[in-house]
Chains A and B, each alone.
Chain A
Amino acid sequence: MDRRTFFRISSISGGGLLISSLFPLGCQTPKPIGPDWEPNFFLRISPDNTITFSCAQSEIGQGTSTGLAMILADELGASLEKIEIEFAEGSEERFGYLQDTGGSNGVRMTYQPLREASATAREILITAAAQTWNVSGEACYAKEGAIHLKNTDKQIPFGDLIHLAVTLPAPRTIQLKEKSEFEYIGKPAIGPKTYQAAEGKVPYGIDVQLPDMVYAAIQRCPVWGGKLVSFKSDKAKAFPGVIDVVELEPTELQSNDYKGGVRPGVVVLATNTWAALEAKKLLEIEWDFGPNGNKSDSDMREELEAAKNQTNEITHDFKNGAALFRNGMRYIEASYESPFQVNACMEPLNAVAYHMGYKVEVWSGTQSPKMTRERIAELTKLPLGAVTIHNQPAGGGFGRRFFIDFVEEAVILSELIRKPVKVTWSRADTFSTSKYHPFRTEYWSAALDRNNYPVALSNKGVVEKPNGYRPYPYSLPAAFHKYLTYKDGNLLPRASWRSVMAHPWGLGLECFIDELAHEAGIDPVQFRMDLLDKAEIVEQVLVPWVGDDLYPQKLKRTLEVAAERSDWSSNGQNGIFKGVSAIGYNTSYCTQIADVPMVNEELKVHKITAVFDCGLVINPKQVEAQIEGSIMWALSALLKAPITVQNGVVQEKNYDTYDLLRMHEAPEVDIILLESEDAPSGTGEPAVPGTAPAVLNALFAATGKRIRQLPITKSLLAQGELT
């Protein structure tokens, strides 16, 4: 029997027809060819007045495509509902760093260039209409996809002006709209992805199907740094639907570790996903695990501890902290542990690649189609122009989809067999052989004066990561030491995980500050406010994705509002205990106050109050959604089992051993977005780091116990250190 044609289907009476099409299913159908006007890389207007927004940023669930479409609609003068959004193919030439979706930078990086580009297009269209009517440009305005003549009924749709617009130069100066003129910005708006998702029609990478496509599933080496020795594939090959079993050679991790790091593996090629995933389980593989085969996550703890003891170099001495630290009457210290985590995006990693020898096309949801294109060109040794990366909306990115090993795999396999190949990761693959949020420990100590008030602080951990953000907002002098590293390199390869290093440094900083407040006998909110009051602006290394310096006054404002909103002064009354955290990250500011009822054996987070300053709010509903989502994300890491490693092998294989927060565990969330005239800043991540410390600080208020590690377990609750 020919395995390729084993599965046959036929359909009767309507629906469910096998759609045979030359175009990838689930992708945008091609637009009608015609004299479109493309005044810039974001915008295309067709003669039939279709307005297409070419979104540089990926849509991974953060709502960036909706927010940017709103900005375009407002500045151009178009109807949001009529804008079609397409996701731009990877292109350095067109978009440069704007196609790097990370660091909560989507709206904030694209805001200004998109406004300027849209305003320019609007002004050209106005000029075209003015010429047509023989009036001055000031008599015209743009609204709902047409240029209107003031005080009349006259209007010309954009599409009817483009033949003239294309002949006109852009004006040397343009006027951006005033806030009072915004129709969309600042108000809730429902974007196209919501309508698509409500019908199950979002075109994720995992839904892409091409004619003659081969489905691949890979058994990757379970230990990082291990090698393939040998394998037996006869049982796998006997599974119905399997075409072949081949070896996958690894690609070396690059110095820019977003690229490379494909593990050695054995690949099942089949006629459908299920056959590939099931047959994969039947492979018999022998690995040489290498040196990591003897290591466990507890070794990471020891290596960081050893690194802490050996590290004395101070890389950032803030306000003479190092010298002042010697003047303590008494010293306290604490360490805060944050274990391995995995992103566990709902859509398992996947990519479709078609390598035709002289060119390659990829369909995948990544967080940088531009970087993906460059890397695939490098990997295949094809010129950049021969590589096309179609950027699909993704079922979650959270940092993992910036690391494109999953794309490299598909390209390598397609090159081998010269057919379209879809690689689908099983859920187990995404847990056991992925790239991870690293195991980190933050070490803090403080020199206290005779009133138990801190004189100076000392930190060893991840705060001083090179090319990192300067996150410390307080006025207390502090000595920051050289970033702690593992002795022998990584036990697990790393990937970004929503909020990245802000998660461990946020945990350490906001828990330790709380401990200091308690030592000094000062209310934790008041303690922070005093320190922020006296603090100066913290300069950052400004690159496009950092955005701006850190303003302690902005953080203080969020604290004030949160304390009032959550009725902080009622802390401890009616069986509700409160804890606070205040974090500045990605140019945004977030104070969280957690309400925790008296804790007996189990911790229940009753409510989180979050006050958020992200500058100008584009879509308040989406910003609130991002804050809620960040809190749920952080609570999963706080309350649920982490990723553990024994003898190099990740122990967690699926949601039965690494669970995520579920609906019945979600607390009430009360959000206040502060009004601001400042440029929009990040919303995807800044609410993540503060949740755990707010809850742990509330736990302390409720029980007198300090828990300094994640996750909170029953035994920790039972035994936690009483202070």
Chain B
Amino acid sequence: MFKLNINGAIHVVDAPANMPLLWVFRDLLQLTGTKYGCGIGQCGACTIHLDGAAVRSCSFPLESAAGREIITIEGLANGDVLHPVQKAWIAQDVPQCGYCQSGQMMQAAALIAENSDPSNHEINQAMKGNICRCGTYLRIQKAIKQAAKELASYRVLDDGL
């Protein structure tokens, strides 16, 4: 039995210790926003946050996630308020088929949490593990820049209090 903290809720999961988190989410917990793309950590579609870091859930075993803070795409928004990354993704009309975008957004959110003003090069390096077959890369770049600015502006507000 493993206790998982996902998006602020506790789930007790009875499954093999080496079952990847991706499949725990999708098949056991009906959290299907995180996607299966390759199973070997090469495409980024399965990206989630583990203690704030971007992690490929297809290659992360259940037992290593116990007790840690997991955020999936379902938990990226703050209740009804979308994360700046999600807002920017909408504003820039990023998705085509949309399948890779949960992973793209999670990867991007982790980047801008660390780096409030990423350069083009830094964006490319952070995102190069996320494949988009529909080729939305150019809009993702714009959306990340927009989201970083918005997130930075919240920080300024926080600091000012």
Contacts and interface: CB of A to CB of B under 8 A. Distances in A.
A663 B37 contact: no
A626 B97 CA distance: 11
Interface class of chain A by DSSP? loop
B38 A655 contact: yes
Interface in B61-108: 72-75, 77, 82, 86-87, 89-90, 93-102, 105
B33 to A, nearest CB: 3
A17 to B, nearest CB: 8
Interface of B: 6-16, 19-20, 22-23, 26-40, 42-43, 45, 72-75, 77, 82, 86-87, 89-90, 93-102, 105, 123-125, 127-141
A395 B11 contact: no
Given A16-B29, A190-B90, A240-B16, 17 more contacts: A16-B31, A61-B97, A61-B99, A198-B86, A198-B89, A199-B86, A272-B23, A273-B26, A396-B97, A625-B93, A625-B96, A632-B137, A654-B42, A662-B128, A662-B129, A664-B127, A669-B138
A392 B20 CA distance: 26
B40 A12 contact: no
A187 to B, nearest CB: 12
Given A7-B14, A9-B13, A13-B10, A198 B99 contact: no
Contact of B98 (A202, A240, A273, A664): A202
Contacts of A426: 39
Contacts of B124: 663-664
A425 B87 CA distance: 32
Contact of B131 (A206, A633, A655): A655
A655 B132 CA distance: 12
A420 to B, nearest CB: 14
B140 to A, nearest CB: 7
21 contacts: A9-B11, A15-B7, A15-B8, A18-B30, A61-B134, A62-B96, A197-B94, A197-B101, A197-B102, A200-B73, A215-B27, A274-B20, A346-B43, A346-B134, A348-B37, A426-B39, A625-B136, A632-B137, A633-B135, A662-B128, A664-B124
A394 B98 CA distance: 9
B98 A654 contact: no
Contacts of B29: 9, 11, 16, 18
> Which 7 A-B pairs give the minimum distances between C-beta atoms?
A200-B33, A61-B97, A632-B135, A395-B99, A197-B98, A15-B9, A629-B135
B44 to A, nearest CB: 10
Contact of B6 (A7, A16, A345): A16
Nearest to B43: A655
A566 to B, nearest CB: 17
Contacts of A194: 89-90, 93-95, 98
A630 B134 CA distance: 8
Interface in A303-360: 344-348
Given A272-B27, A629-B134, A199 B20 contact: no
A149 B130 CA distance: 53
A594 B111 CA distance: 31
A207 B32 contact: yes
A209 interface: yes
A198 B82 contact: yes
Interface string A620-653: 0110011011111100000000000000000000
Contact of A663 (B77, B89, B90, B140): B140
A664 B26 CA distance: 30
Contacts of A63: 96
Given A200-B102, A274-B20, A631-B135, A11 B97 contact: no
A25 interface: yes
A215 B13 CA distance: 19
B25 to A, nearest CB: 9
Interface string A409-431: 00000000000000010110000
B93 A190 contact: yes
A664 B36 contact: no
A346 B31 contact: no
A396 B133 contact: yes
Contact of B97 (A347, A628, A633): A347
A545 interface: no
A396 B35 CA distance: 13
Interface residues of A, number: 77
Contacts, number: 227
A618 interface: no
B32 A25 contact: yes
Nearest to B130: A663
A723 interface: no
Contact of A628 (B14, B36, B128, B136): B136
The winner among A633, A655, A663 for most chain B CB atoms within 10 A is A663
A275 B146 CA distance: 41
Nearest to B15: A7
Interface string A42-67: 00000000000000000111110000
Nearest to A25: B30
B31 A628 contact: no
A669 B138 CA distance: 8
B23 A273 contact: yes
Interface in A456-500: none
A302 to B, nearest CB: 32
A11 B102 CA distance: 24
Nearest to A10: B12
Contacts of B97: 59-61, 345-347, 393-397
A10 B11 contact: yes
A13 B7 CA distance: 11
A277 interface: yes
Contacts of A8: 14
B13 A26 contact: no
Interface string A1-29: 00000111111111110110000011000
Given A346-B132, A661-B135, A7 B89 contact: no
A273 B27 contact: yes
A330 to B, nearest CB: 42
A198 to B, nearest CB: 5
A621 B138 contact: no
A166 interface: no
Contacts of B95: 61, 193-194, 197-198
B98 A193 contact: yes
A660 interface: yes
Contact of A277 (B39, B73, B87): B39
A196 B138 contact: no
Nearest to B16: A240
A191 B97 CA distance: 12
Contacts of B86: 198-199
Contacts of B16: 240
